[in-house]
């Protein structure tokens, strides 16, 4: 559970938030860089598999009685919301746009047109994604407390979380949380989604005349 919710899943969220445009990418001449997508998928799927292994282990323990109800509720809430997160990712709808043109030449797609379906996905996936991340920190802490975890584990984990928070704050201050829509299709106003405001806190839109800093 520590490897899953303490390490792999938070890293997957950082990649999805801050590496939609990578450091060496010449945006907007190079668009739709799949780096964040591949690594979000890899990290979230391997993190979820680790979570399910953790669940199987705990459910198969010899004495099934639970004497820590706070951890029990937190643990089940995080596990169920984690599974729902994977399902919501899977149900994100179609893409469309100039990078995904259908055989008849149409560019229809939930993401390209920012349909209500896509908007609901983005609000849900982001809001629940960050909420479950916070709940998982409480689940890890109560789990470690319940199991009398050794001191090195408390220090190591708190140090690691501190590092993640610093990396988050640094990337946010460097304006690396770019809107997915722009990262994929650029900032040209001819793309329908560029007319609406981006979904999520602290997400940035680059101006149409954006120049790469040298």
Q: Which stretch binds ligand HEM (CB under 6 A): 21-29, 146-154, 163-171, 204-212?
A: 146-154
Q: Give the x-and-dash track for 150-179 against ligand HEM (CB under 6 A).
A: ------------------------------
Q: Give the x-and-dash track for 89-128 against ligand HEM (CB under 6 A).
A: xx-x-----------------------------x--xx--
Select 72 or 107, whichever has its Cβ closest to ligand HEM: 72
Complete DSSP assignment for the chain? -IIIIIIIHHHHHHHHHH-SS-TT--TTTS---THHHHHHHHHHHHHHHHHHHHHHHHHTSS------HHHHHHHHHHHHHHHHHHHHHHT-----STTS--TTS----HHHHT-HHHHHHHHHHHHHHHHHHHHHHHHHHHHHHHTT--HHHHHHHHHHHHHHHHHHHHHHHTT--B-HHHHHH-S-TTSGGGGSPPSSTT-B---TT-----
Is residue 40 within the footprint of ligand HEM (CB under 6 A)?
yes
- Given the rule CB under 6 A, which residues bind ligand HEM? 1-2, 5, 9, 13, 16-17, 40-41, 44, 48, 58-59, 64, 66-68, 71-72, 75-76, 78-79, 82, 85-86, 89-90, 92, 122, 125-126, 129-130, 132, 136, 139-140, 143-144, 146-147, 149, 180, 200
């Amino acid at each position: 559970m520590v490897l899953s919710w303490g390490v792999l899943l938070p890293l997957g969220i950082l990649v999805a938030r801050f590496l939609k445009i990578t450091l060496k990418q010449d945006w907007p001449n190079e668009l739709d860089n799949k780096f964040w997508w591949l690594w979000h998928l890899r990290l979230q799927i391997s993190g979820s598999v680790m979570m399910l292994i953790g669940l199987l282990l705990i459910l198969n323990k010899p004495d099934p009685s639970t004497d820590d109800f706070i951890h029990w509720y937190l643990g089940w809430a995080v596990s169920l919301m984690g599974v729902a997160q994977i399902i919501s990712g899977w149900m994100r709808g179609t893409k469309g746009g100039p990078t995904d043109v259908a055989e008849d030449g149409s560019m229809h797609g939930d993401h390209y047109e920012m349909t209500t379906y896509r908007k609901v996905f983005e609000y849900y996936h982001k809001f629940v994604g960050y909420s479950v991340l916070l709940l998982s920190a409480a689940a890890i802490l109560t789990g470690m407390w319940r199991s009398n975890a050794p001191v090195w584990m408390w220090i190591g984990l708190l140090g690691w979380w501190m590092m993640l928070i610093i990396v988050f704050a640094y990337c946010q201050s460097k304006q690396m949380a770019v809107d997915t829509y722009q990262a994929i299709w650029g900032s040209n106003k001819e793309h329908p989604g560029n007319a609406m405001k981006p979904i999520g806190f602290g997400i940035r839109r680059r101006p149409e005349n954006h120049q790469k800093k040298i």
